[in-house]
Chains A and B, each alone.
Chain A
Amino acid sequence: MKLVKVYVTLKKSVLDAQGEAIKSAIHSMGYSQVADVHMGKYFELNFADDYADLEKDVDAICDDLLANPNIETYRYEILEAE
């Protein structure tokens, strides 16, 4: 099996309200040197070993559903599943 790990995050130009709230919570814990926090989403997709056009389809799934290109970017890695 192939394991595809997809990470979706907000574009830098979009204010990450949750990341900001988490950052201020971290600061209030005393870790005042944490400069920036960004929150995103993480997906795991499993594919058969002989799946054709894997990257093409993962791109399409990300573009059409997992990420909203107006506000988010994504990256992914393809691994051998255990």
Chain B
Amino acid sequence: MKFAVINFPGSNCDMDLYYAIRDGIKQPVELVDYRSESLAGFDGVLIPGGFSYGDYLRSGAIASQAPIVKEIIRFANEGKIVLGICNGFQILTELGLLPGALIKNEKGRFICETVALKVVNNETAFTSEYQANEVINVPIAHGEGRYYCDETTLKELQANNQIAFQYCENVNGSVEHIAGVMNQQKNVLGMMPHPERAIEEILGSDDGLKLFQSIINYQVRVNN
């Protein structure tokens, strides 16, 4: 399974993601420039964390107008795997590929720590290697990670099991402790925590590795 890691000006977790794919799950991976207009030949798209365009205007807002974006939308609409982490999650909500928005943390502070997450839905392309309700330790590093959506959207997310991860302790004030959500078809996931920074014990946790392994195993099932 060949992955693209999109590189925007200001992305800073692109090499972590690249490493997670190349060394963590040993799959082919390439960095793709934001000015590129094709994702031909790729099976999965990863949008890394960082501060694309310096977070000018709103986190992810300017990146959502970049040339590569049309291809990401096509890719998502074709049911292919799209994962956005941290700033990547913010970009996906700005694109409208995921519902809701990410706004300033409730306490206004940048939070950088390892947090406990609950796997809410383990029957997805991103989470099948986890147990239902499994608690995993994954780092977060964000100032604008408070997930917000209106009541109607929240009810839809719950009814359709689109919530992938919740914070065990609501660190940033997110609606329903939401740390990661998927689109209706569940081929697009956005999450504020960084699974790519938790793929080896030496990093403090390898709980993030199963997320990437889930994607591979899902693709194997789809292909058979």
Q: Contact between A17 and B148 (Cβ–Cβ < 8 Å)?
A: no
Rounded to whole angstroms, the CA-CA distance of A14 and B106 in the bound complex is 11
Rounded to whole angstroms, the CA-CA distance of A65 and B108 in the bound complex is 24
Rounded to whole angstroms, the CA-CA distance of A21 and B106 in the bound complex is 10
Name which of A27-35, A46-54, A66-74 contacts chain B: A66-74
Nearest-CB residue, chain A, relative to B65 = A65
Q: Contact between B101 and A17 (Cβ–Cβ < 8 Å)?
A: no
Contact A14 B108, CB 8 Å, known A66-B57, A68-B61, A71-B101:
no
**CB contact between A70 and one of B65, B93, B105, B106 (< 8 Å): that residue:** B93
Say yes or no: is B10 at the interface (Cβ < 8 Å to chain A). Answer: no
Say yes or no: is B196 at the interface (Cβ < 8 Å to chain A). Answer: no
Interface string of B170-185 (1 = CB under 8 A from A): 0001000000000000
Nearest-CB residue, chain B, relative to A70 = B101
* Residues of A within 8 A of B (CB-CB), count: 14
Nearest-CB residue, chain B, relative to A64 = B65
Q: Contact between B57 and A18 (Cβ–Cβ < 8 Å)?
A: no
Say yes or no: is B100 at the interface (Cβ < 8 Å to chain A). Answer: yes
Interface string of A4-15 (1 = CB under 8 A from B): 000000100111
Interface string of B56-89 (1 = CB under 8 A from A): 0110010001000000000000000000000000
Chain B nearest CB from A61 CB (Å) reads: 11
**CB contact between A65 and one of B57, B93, B149, B150 (< 8 Å): that residue:** B57
Say yes or no: is B14 at the interface (Cβ < 8 Å to chain A). Answer: no
Nearest-CB residue, chain B, relative to A11 = B150
Rounded to whole angstroms, the CA-CA distance of A71 and B57 in the bound complex is 14
Residues of B within 8 A of A (CB): 57-58, 61, 65, 93-94, 99-101, 103-108, 148-150, 173
Nearest 5 A-B pairs (CB), nearest first?
A70-B101, A71-B101, A17-B104, A17-B108, A68-B101
Q: Show 21 A/B contacts (Cβ-Cβ < 8 Å), sorted by A.
A: A10-B103, A13-B150, A14-B103, A14-B148, A15-B106, A17-B104, A17-B105, A17-B107, A41-B57, A65-B57, A65-B61, A65-B65, A66-B57, A68-B58, A68-B61, A68-B94, A68-B101, A70-B93, A70-B100, A71-B101, A71-B103
Known: A65-B61, A66-B57, A70-B99. 18 other contacts (CB 8 A): A10-B103, A14-B103, A14-B148, A17-B103, A17-B104, A17-B105, A17-B106, A17-B107, A18-B108, A21-B108, A65-B65, A68-B58, A68-B61, A68-B94, A70-B101, A70-B150, A71-B101, A71-B148
